[in-house]
Amino acid sequence: MELILDTADLDAIKELDGLLDVTGVTTNPSIIAKSGHAPEEVIGGLVDYLRPDQKIFIQTVQTDFDGMMEEARHICGIRPENMYVKIPVTHDGLRAIKAAKAEGLGVLATAIYSADEAFMAAMNGADYLAPYVNRMCNYGDGIGQVVELIEMLAVQDLPSKVVAASFKNADQVHQLILAGIQAVTVPPAVALSMIDHPGTQIAVDEFTTNWKTAFGRTTLA
């Protein structure tokens, strides 16, 4: 499974990249707008920090077909590989996904709210499909829709990967890992909540205390 970080916070990316096997980073216009940095600075920071084999996903801002295509070419030209354009699955977006794939660009279909939207983007050749899990849960069974999407792609033998997005808690991620999700993109806080069980530190403190009490030191030898 690919573990992707959904953030423009470079400090958080560096911290988690040191701790975990991070496949790449996703952003969207809201994430970059809230970062407090200029878009060029955010994107430049990601390109400078991430290894060439780590993936970067940047979303189009324009919403018409021509604007999306212009920005898709720009985004995918920022570095030679592992650069993906995120395109929302509007009508113009679906056209742009087809056209971008015809030009050989890496494409993530985003702002997906149903398994059917995602499936159509897969038919158009999108490399990744990003269902917005938590937002989908506001309309019904978001997890169930994504589980169905995984099955739909498998039975129809479509190669698009599902990169589940818009997570608000670790349990949502857990359920989709169990269902065989190919990729997740998670905010740093959700990633940390998956590795920061308080019991672990309590256990380590207890080992140290017991060892020190018995042997008068905190090292093995």
Q: Which residues bind ligand E4P (CB under 6 A)?
A: 6, 26, 28, 31, 110, 130, 132, 134-135, 165-166, 185
Task: Tell me the closest approach of the beta carbon of residue 13 to ligand E4P, in angstroms.
Answer: 14
Nearest to ligand E4P of 129, 147 (CB atom) = 129
CA Rg value for the chain: 20
**Coil vs helix vs strand at 95:** helix
Q: Is 86 a catalytic residue?
A: yes
Task: Tell me the closest approach of the beta carbon of residue 185 to ligand E4P, in angstroms.
Answer: 5
Decide if 130 contacts 106 (C-beta within 8 A): no
| Residue indicated by tokens 């899990």 | 133
Task: Tell me the closest approach of the beta carbon of residue 202 to ligand E4P, in angstroms.
Answer: 31
- State the burial class of residue 138 (Cβ atoms within 10 Å of its Cβ: 0-12, 13-18, 19+): exposed
Nearest to ligand E4P of 168, 211 (CB atom) = 168
**Across the chain, which distance is largest between two alpha carbons, in Å?**
72
Pairing outcome for strands 83-88 and 55-59: parallel
Residues 6+ apart with CB under 8 A from 114: 131, 136, 145
**Which one from 14, 34, 55, 86 is the annotated catalytic residue?**
86
Q: What is the distance between the alpha carbons of residues 188 and 195, in angstroms, rounded to a whole number?
A: 11
In the structure encoding, which two tokens stand for residue 35, read together? Answer: 């970062």
Task: Tell me the closest approach of the beta carbon of residue 27 to ligand E4P, in angstroms.
Answer: 7
Catalytic positions, please? Answer: 86
